[in-house]
Amino acid sequence: MKKFAVLGFGTVGSGVVELFYRNRAKIEEKAGAPMELAYILDLRDFPDSPYAEKFTKSLDTILADKDITVVAECMGGVEPAFSYLMRCLQNDISVVTSNKELIAAKGAELLAEAKAHSCNCFFEASVGGAIPIIRPLHRCLAANDFSAIYGILNGTTNYILNKMLTDGMTFADALAKAQKHGYAEREPSADVDGHDACRKICILASLAFGKHVYPESVYTKGIREISLEDAAAADALDGAVKLIASVTRLADGRILPAVMPMFVPHENLMSRVDGVFNCVEVCGDAIDRAYFTGRGAGKFPTASAVMGDVIEASKHHKTVFSQYWTDAGTQDFVAGIDALESGMFIRFSEDADAEQVFTAVSEALQANGISDDTLSATTNACVIPEKMNRTTQDAVLKALADKGFAAAHWMPVMDA
Amino acid sequence: MKKFAVLGFGTVGSGVVELFYRNRAKIEEKAGAPMELAYILDLRDFPDSPYAEKFTKSLDTILADKDITVVAECMGGVEPAFSYLMRCLQNDISVVTSNKELIAAKGAELLAEAKAHSCNCFFEASVGGAIPIIRPLHRCLAANDFSAIYGILNGTTNYILNKMLTDGMTFADALAKAQKHGYAEREPSADVDGHDACRKICILASLAFGKHVYPESVYTKGIREISLEDAAAADALDGAVKLIASVTRLADGRILPAVMPMFVPHENLMSRVDGVFNCVEVCGDAIDRAYFTGRGAGKFPTASAVMGDVIEASKHHKTVFSQYWTDAGTQDFVAGIDALESGMFIRFSEDADAEQVFTAVSEALQANGISDDTLSATTNACVIPEKMNRTTQDAVLKALADKGFAAAHWMPVMDA
C-alpha cells in the first residue's frame, strides 16, 4: 500500500483527487501496488465533499503519518508551498508539484533537499500542463547535447493571438473574450506580459543546461504591443505571430533565455499550434528536433501530469539524478537579449507596392552585407530569415527609415 | 562503472557507438556513473574502425563478462535477435532494442522473460525513432484511460504523399525520388504497403491496452492506390492524405487497430506533419490529446532513443512494470475493419460543378439519415466528417453512384 496526500483542493488539486478515484485500478496497475489517498490539505472546509473525511488543515497531521511516501502540492504561489515541501523532504517524503512559480524560484533548493534525503521532487505538471516534457527531456533524450528549446508555454496568449488573426479582433477585444471564457484572469499581467511563460522556460533551461536560471535573468516581453496588423501581415507572409519562450546555447557557451513575440514561419510546426494548446520544440545533436504538443492548462490535463509523477514517486524512492540542477551562485552563464542574433519580421507604418517594399529591403540588406536570398515581402511588411546581430538589425532599420520605410513594429524570426 | 554491449554495427548500431563516445560526459552524468562500451557484436570485420578491439563475433563472449548490465540490439529482424536477447535476459542482463519487427512479433515473450529475471526489455527506438513515445505513454500518461492512438509512423510514405502534393508527382515518381534519396528501399513493400507502420501500431496498442496485438490481426492497407488527384482534392478540401496507423477502443471494449490512408483535416495538427517526420497523437480521458513529433528514422535520431534506454537500463535494474503487456492467448479483443465507424472522403470519377456535388452528396446523406451540417465539397470530391458504419457508407456510395456520381476512390476521415 502506497499512501499519498494532496496539498490544496483548488482546480488542480480537486482534479488530482477526482482522477485518482476515477482511474484508480489503472493507476494501481501502473504503480504496481495498491494506492491510497490519505489526506487532502486545505484551509477551507468542504463538508459536502465525498472526500470530507480526508481533509486536514495541518501539515503536521500528514508528516505524523509515517506511511506517507508522496505529497502532491497544488496550492500555487511560493509560500507556504515552499516551506511545506521542504518539511516533507526533510521527513524523507517525495514531493510532486504543479507549481511553476515555486520551481522557477526555488527549484535548486528543493532538488538539493530531495537529494540530501534520497527522495524526489518531481514537477512534470509545472510546464506544458498535460504535455510530457520534463521526463522526456532528462530521460528519453538524455544522450543529446541540447542546443535550443522553444516553447509556446502560455495558452492564454496563444488563444488571444489566434483570435486576433482568425476573428480580426484587436488585442483588447481578444483579451476580453479570453477573460469571458475563463482562459484569462481579470488581472491578466502574468499571462500577457510573459511572466508565466518566463517561469516555465526557466524550468526547462535549468533542466536542459544544469544550472538554475532565475526569472529575473530572463528578457521578458509580452504581447501587448502586437496589433491586428502584425497578425495579418504575418499570415500574408506565410507565418504566425507567437509568444515564444526560448533558450539557446551561444557559441561562447553561455545560454540566452528570452520570452518575446516572434514570427514563426509555417515551415515550423509550432506556427500551427493554435488556441489554448502549448508546444515545446527541443533541439539536440542526435534528434535534430522533436515537438511535444498538448493542453497546457486545465483541471484534468494538469492532474494527469501530477498523477503521473505521484505514480513514479511511489515506485522509485531513490533520487532520480538526471532530473537535477544546482544553483551556480551566479547568473554569469546567462546572456542578455543584446546577444541575440536573429532574422527580422518588420511591419512598416505605411503601405506600398509589394515590389517596392521588396526592393527597398533588399537594398538595405545589401548595404549591410546581408543576403536577400530568403527575403519575402508584402505591401506593409517583410520577413528576413537571415540571422543578424543587434548592430546590423539597427542599421537595416535605419537604412529603411532613410528610404521612407519606417518600421511600425518588428520582431525576431524563429528558425523554420 | 556500468558496462554495456551493442549487437549489430549497421546504421543504428554504429550511431549508438558514435553518439556514446561523442556525448560520453553528459551521458555518464545522466546515468550517475561512469559507463563503458565493452563489446560490439557483428559477424563482419571492421579492422580499420577506431573501436576495432571492441568487436566480437560471439554472444558468449559478452555473456561470459559478468559486469555487463545492458545489451543494445540493433541488428534488425526476428532471428537471431530474439534468441540473443532471450539469452541475455536469462543471464539477468537488461536488453534494449530498436527492432520493431522483433517487438511486434515477440514483445510479450521478451517482457515475460525480463520480468522473470527482474531486469528490463526497453524499446523506445522501435516506434517513432527519435520521438519519446514509449516512456511518456506508460509513465507520464499513466493516470489516463486511453481511448485512441493515431500515428504517422512511416517517414517514407509520408515523404511520398507529401511530394505528390507539393511537386505534383505521381506515386511512382515520388517513390523513385524517395529511393534516389535513400528514404525508400529498392524493395519498398514494407513501407508502401503499410507493414512497417503496422508493426509500430501493434507495439503502441499492446502497451496502451495491455495485451499483445499481433501484426496478423491488423487491417493493413498501404498507399499504392493514392493518386495525385486524391492528394490535390484533399488539399482543396482543407486537409491532407496521410498513412495513419491507429488503434481505437470500441464501445464493446474491443480495440480496433488499422493501418490505412486517411483524410486528415487541417484542424488536426497531424495534417501538418510533413516529409520524413513522424507524429503520434495520444487520446486519453485526462489529457484530451497530446502530440509527439520528430524524426522517425535515421542513424542518430534512432541512436538517441537507444542510448536513452541504455542509460535508463543502467540505472534501474528492477523491472519497470508499467511498461508491460501479456500474450492474451487469443486475439478476440481485436476487432476487424468492418467495425470501423468513420466519416468519408470521396473522390468522384468525373468533375462537376462544386454546388452540384454538394447537393448530390447532401441528398445521399439525408436519404440515409445522416446530417450534412459538416459536409464540404469541391468539383471532384467531398468530405463527410459525420461518422457512419460500414452499411451506411455503402448505402451512401450507392446512392451517389445512382445519381451519376460514381466514386473513383474513398477513404476514412480522421477526427479534427
Cis check: omega of the bond before A80, within 30 degrees of 0? yes
Whether B287 and chain A come into contact, CB under 8 Å, resolves to: yes
Whether A24 and chain B come into contact, CB under 8 Å, resolves to: no
pLDDT in tens, A204-252: 999 999 999 999 999 999 999 999 999 999 999 999 999 999 999 999 9
CA gap A328, A322 in Å, rounded: 17
pLDDT in tens, A71-93: 999 999 999 999 999 999 999 99
Q: What's the pTM value of the predicted model, to 2 decimals?
A: 0.97
CA gap A209, A207 in Å, rounded: 6
Q: Are B291 and A291 an interchain contact pair (Cβ–Cβ within 8 Å)?
A: yes
- Residue B285 DSSP one-character state: T
- Domain membership flag for residue A328: no
Is residue A290 located within the same domain as residue A400?
A: no
Q: Which of A134, A98, A94, A113 is nearest to A5 (CA)?
A: A94
CA distances from B236 to A416, B138, B185, B348, B382 (A): 24, 38, 31, 14, 10
**Burial class (CB within 10 angstroms; exposed 0-12, middle 13-18, buried 19+) of B210:** middle
Domain that holds residue B268: 134-295
A 114-173: CB under 8 A from B = 124, 130-132, 135-136, 138-145
pLDDT in tens, B95-125: 999 999 999 999 999 999 999 999 999 999 9
Whether A289 and chain B come into contact, CB under 8 Å, resolves to: yes
Q: Are B23 and A131 an interchain contact pair (Cβ–Cβ within 8 Å)?
A: no
Maximum alpha-carbon separation in chain A:
75
- Residue A252 DSSP one-character state: T
In this prediction, residue A318 carries a pLDDT of: 86
pLDDT above 90 covers a percentage of chain B that reads: 97
Is residue A142 located within the same domain as residue A167?
A: yes
Average pLDDT over residues A362-374: 97
Q: Which of A53, B302, A69 is nearest to B310 (CA)?
A: B302
Q: Is the pLDDT of residue A317 over 80?
A: no
Mean pLDDT of chain A: 96
**Nearest residue, CB atoms, A32 vs list B31, B294, B321:** B321
Beta bridge partners of B311: none
Is residue B164 located within the same domain as residue B290?
A: yes
In this prediction, residue B185 carries a pLDDT of: 86
Domain tally, chain B: 3
| Collapsed DSSP state (helix, strand, coil) of residue A239 | strand
What is the domain-level CATH number for residue A39? 3.40.50.720
Element (H, E) at B198: helix B195-209
Q: Which of B340, B331, B99 is nearest to B215 (CA)?
A: B331
Is residue B62 located within the same domain as residue B106?
A: yes
pLDDT in tens, B119-143: 999 999 999 999 999 999 999 999 9
Would you say B195 and B85 are in contact if contact means Cβ atoms under 8 Å apart? Answer: no
CA gap A170, A161 in Å, rounded: 9
CA gap B69, B74 in Å, rounded: 17
- Domain membership flag for residue B178: yes
Q: Is the pLDDT of residue A16 over 90?
A: yes
- Domain membership flag for residue B335: no
Is residue A287 located within the same domain as residue A370?
A: no
Tell me the angle at which helices A299-315 and A11-22 cross, rounded to the nearest 10 degrees.
Answer: 60
How many CB atoms within 10 Å of residue A392? 17
Residue A330 confidence class, pLDDT cut points 50, 70, 90: very high
CA gap A134, A141 in Å, rounded: 10
Cell digits of residue A67: 506511511
Q: Are B293 and A322 an interchain contact pair (Cβ–Cβ within 8 Å)?
A: no
B 304-343: CB under 8 A from A = 304-305, 307-308, 311-312, 315-316, 321-322
Residue B289 confidence class, pLDDT cut points 50, 70, 90: very high
Cell digits of residue B275: 516529409
| Collapsed DSSP state (helix, strand, coil) of residue A45 | coil
Cell digits of residue A39: 489526506
Pairing of strands B277-284, B288-295: antiparallel
Instruction: Suggest the residue from B21, B37, B271, B304 to mutate for an interface test with chain A (most A CBs closer than 10 A).
Output: B304
Backbone angles phi, psi at A367, to 5 degrees: -65, -20
| Collapsed DSSP state (helix, strand, coil) of residue A48 | coil
> What is the amino acid identity at position A358?
F
Residue with cell 466519416: B343
Residue with cell 495498491: A34
Residues of chain A positioned with their CB less than 8 A from the CB of B19: 143, 286
| Collapsed DSSP state (helix, strand, coil) of residue A370 | coil
In this prediction, residue B325 carries a pLDDT of: 97
- Residue B140 DSSP one-character state: I
The CA distance from B77 to the nearest CA of chain A, in Å, is: 24
In this prediction, residue B184 carries a pLDDT of: 87
- Domain membership flag for residue A115: yes
Cell digits of residue A217: 535573468
Average pLDDT over residues A103-127: 98
What is the domain-level CATH number for residue A345? 3.30.70.100
pLDDT in tens, A170-196: 999 999 999 998 888 889 999 999 999
Residue B316 confidence class, pLDDT cut points 50, 70, 90: confident
CA gap A292, B280 in Å, rounded: 10
Residues B54, B200, B211, B242: which is the catalytic one? B200
Would you say A120 and A147 are in contact if contact means Cβ atoms under 8 Å apart? Answer: no
Whether A23 and chain B come into contact, CB under 8 Å, resolves to: yes
In this prediction, residue B53 carries a pLDDT of: 95
Whether B289 and chain A come into contact, CB under 8 Å, resolves to: yes
- Domain membership flag for residue A320: no
**Burial class (CB within 10 angstroms; exposed 0-12, middle 13-18, buried 19+) of A144:** buried
* Residues of A that are catalytic: 200
**Nearest residue, CB atoms, A286 vs list B136, B143, B304:** B304
**Nearest residue, CB atoms, B143 vs list A19, A140, A141:** A19
Measured CA angle at B38 (ends B34, B40), to 5 deg: 135
Is residue B66 located within the same domain as residue B140?
A: no
| Collapsed DSSP state (helix, strand, coil) of residue B297 | coil
- Domain membership flag for residue A63: yes
Average pLDDT over residues B78-90: 98
Is residue B222 located within the same domain as residue B183?
A: yes
CA distances from A364 to A361, A379, B152 (A): 5, 17, 43
In this prediction, residue A182 carries a pLDDT of: 85
In this prediction, residue B318 carries a pLDDT of: 86
Residues of chain B positioned with their CB less than 8 A from the CB of A303: 143, 286
Q: Is the pLDDT of residue A316 over 80?
A: no
- Domain membership flag for residue A331: no
Which residue among B249, B281, B315 closes a domain? B315
Is residue A154 located within the same domain as residue A259?
A: yes
In this prediction, residue A185 carries a pLDDT of: 86
CA gap B332, B252 in Å, rounded: 12
B 51-70: CB under 8 A from A = none
Buried b (16+ CB within 10 A) or exposed e, A99-117: bbbbbbbbbbbbbbbbbeb
CA gap B136, A173 in Å, rounded: 38
Whether A300 and chain B come into contact, CB under 8 Å, resolves to: yes
Residue A200 confidence class, pLDDT cut points 50, 70, 90: very high
Residue in chain B closest to A309 (alpha carbons) equals B140
A317 versus B414: the higher-pLDDT residue is B414
In this prediction, residue B361 carries a pLDDT of: 98
Whether B290 and chain A come into contact, CB under 8 Å, resolves to: yes
Is residue B154 located within the same domain as residue B259?
A: yes
pLDDT in tens, A383-406: 999 999 999 999 999 999 999 999
Instruction: Suggest the residue from A30, A146, A266 to mutate for an interface test with chain B (most B CBs closer than 10 A).
Output: A30
Q: Are B286 and A301 an interchain contact pair (Cβ–Cβ within 8 Å)?
A: yes
**Nearest residue, CB atoms, B141 vs list A29, A269, A308:** A308
Long-range residue pairs from B24-31, CB within 8 A, at least 24 positions apart, any chain: B26/A142, B26/A143, B26/A144, B26/A145, B27/A142, B27/A143, B27/B307, B27/B311, B29/A322, B30/A138, B30/A139, B30/A142, B30/A143, B30/A321, B30/A322, B30/B311, B31/A142, B31/A322, B31/B2, B31/B311, B31/B314, B31/B315
Is residue A47 located within the same domain as residue A115?
A: yes
Q: Which of B91, B50, B63, B48 is nearest to B5 (CA)?
A: B63
- Domain membership flag for residue A58: yes
Q: Are B138 and A30 an interchain contact pair (Cβ–Cβ within 8 Å)?
A: yes
Q: Are A311 and B139 an interchain contact pair (Cβ–Cβ within 8 Å)?
A: yes
Is residue A95 located within the same domain as residue A187?
A: no
Q: Which of A270, A248, A20, A280 is nearest to A161 (CA)?
A: A270
Whether A416 and chain B come into contact, CB under 8 Å, resolves to: no
Mean pLDDT of chain B: 96
pLDDT in tens, A256-315: 999 999 999 999 999 999 999 999 999 999 999 999 999 999 999 999 999 999 999 998
Would you say B344 and B393 are in contact if contact means Cβ atoms under 8 Å apart? Answer: yes
Backbone angles phi, psi at A249, to 5 degrees: -90, 130
Is residue A83 located within the same domain as residue A220?
A: no
**Nearest residue, CB atoms, B132 vs list A32, A136, A286:** A136
Q: Are A136 and B140 an interchain contact pair (Cβ–Cβ within 8 Å)?
A: yes
DSSP states of A103-166: HHHHHHHHHHHHHHTT--EE-GGGSSTTS--HHIIIIITTT--EEEEEEE--HHHHHHHHHHHH
How far does CA A308 lie from the centroid of its chain?
19
| Helical ranges in B55-146 per DSSP H | 59-64, 81-90, 100-116, 134-135
| Helical ranges in A260-387 per DSSP H | 299-315, 354-367
Instruction: Suggest the residue from A11, A140, A277 to mutate for an interface test with chain B (most B CBs closer than 10 A).
Output: A140
| CB within 8 Å of A309: residues ≥ 6 apart | A72, A96, A122, A123, A124, A125
How many CB atoms within 10 Å of residue A216? 11
| CB within 8 Å of B79: residues ≥ 6 apart | none
Would you state the torsion angle of the CA atoms of residues B268, B269, B270, B275, taken in this order, to the nearest 10 degrees?
Answer: 140
In this prediction, residue A183 carries a pLDDT of: 85
Residues of chain A positioned with their CB less than 8 A from the CB of B321: 30, 32
Question: For chain A, how many residues are written?
Answer: 416
Whether A281 and chain B come into contact, CB under 8 Å, resolves to: no
Residues of chain B positioned with their CB less than 8 A from the CB of A272: 269, 272
Residues of chain A positioned with their CB less than 8 A from the CB of B125: none
What is the domain-level CATH number for residue B282? 3.30.360.10
